[in-house]
Amino acid sequence: MYKIAVGSSDGKNVDLKFGQADRFHIYQVDGKDVKLLGIREVKDDLPVKGETENKEANATCEEGGKSGSCRAGCGGNGQGCGGAGEVMGKVTLIEDCRCVVCAKVGFQAQKQFEKKAISVFDVQVRIDEALEKITSYYYKIDQRQSLRK
């Protein structure tokens, strides 16, 4: 049994980028059975591990310092995504899931999910189609079946 987090604005389509998601639909998978467990809302005050260090590094960047974390990134010109600290609250919110499904997941979020062994799927399809393909994939892996047809 495992969970899948889906970024969706309407509960029908995978249509939100990870950074845009203000909620995640959480599905529980048991074998081939899939059911919606609920929706997790993203709150502005989510706890972030290492938040103090990230704020200090970003402050150094804003002051024109040459911090190791102060480099051109997500948005270029050193004004990018703010590094891992900006995504950690959302990652922590869904860290009990086996995978996350969004229209797009940025580099910083992908790195954090990789550290937690959470798979990332960038797709823009109906949720039921995404869940069918992903659960079929994991079922074959878990049953040690060939992925070839």
Q: Is residue 94 left, alpha or beta, with left meaning phi > 0 and alpha meaning psi from -120 to 50?
A: alpha
Tell me what pLDDT residue 129 has.
Answer: 97
Question: Domain spanning 2-44+86-142: which CATH class is it, in words?
Answer: alpha beta
Band (124; pLDDT cuts 50, 70, 90): very high
Which contacts qualify for 8-16: CB closer than 8 Å, 24 or more apart? 8/127, 11/127, 12/126, 12/127, 13/124, 13/125, 13/126, 13/127, 14/101, 14/102, 14/103, 14/123, 14/124, 14/125, 14/126, 14/127, 14/130, 15/103, 15/124, 16/102, 16/103
> What is the residue extent of each domain of the chain?
2-44+86-142
> With 70 as the cut, is the pLDDT of residue 72 above it?
no
| Residues 24-63 pLDDT 10s | 999 999 988 999 999 999 987 655 554 433 443 333 333 3
Q: Give the pLDDT confidence score for residue 86 in this predicted structure.
A: 74
Tally the C-alpha atoms within 13 A of residue 30's C-alpha that lie toward its C-beta.
3
- Judging by beta carbons within 10 Å of its beta carbon (0-12, 13-18, 19+), is residue 28 exposed, middle or buried? middle
3-21 tens-digit pLDDT: 999 999 999 999 999 999 9
Give the pLDDT confidence score for residue 139 in this predicted structure. Answer: 92
Instruction: Look at residue 140 in the predicted model and tell me its pLDDT.
Output: 92
- Nearest CA to 45 among 8, 6, 88? 88
How far lies 96's CA from each of 91, 100, 116, 117, 141, in Å?
A: 9, 10, 9, 10, 19
Cα radius of gyration rounded to whole Å, the chain: 17
